[in-house]
Amino acid sequence: MATSQDDYKQNLSVKHASKAGLRGKINANCIDCVNDPIEAGSWRKQVENCCGYSCSLYPVRPTTLNAKK
């Protein structure tokens, strides 16, 4: 049986995947990969802290403008 955390993650992923263009699909992939609803921080912060350097989407993962400097 799915938990509310699993439902939250699934709904968030579907929401982003349904957006037009590649950005939504990239966000959805990153959410599926690293987002943990129990961990501290938003999904963006968790993705920004991703250390999957070998991932082909790592250079284009969602980050804040400050993190790109």
Q: How far apart are CA 11 and CA 9, in angstroms?
A: 6
Q: Do residues 28 and 61 lie in contact, with contact meaning Cβ atoms separated by under 8 Å?
A: no
Summarised one tens digit per residue, pLDDT across range 25-43 is: 999 999 999 998 888 989 9
Give the per-residue pLDDT at 66.
74
Give the per-residue pLDDT at 68.
58
Q: Judge whether residue 47 has pLDDT over 70.
A: yes
pTM score of the predicted model: 0.80
The helix, strand and coil proportions of the chain, stated in percent and rounded to the nearest 5, come to 55, 0, 45
* CA atoms 57, 58, 59, 60: torsion sign: positive
pLDDT, average across residues 57-62 = 94
Could you tell me if residue 21 is left (phi over 0), alpha (psi between -120 and 50 degrees) or otherwise beta? left
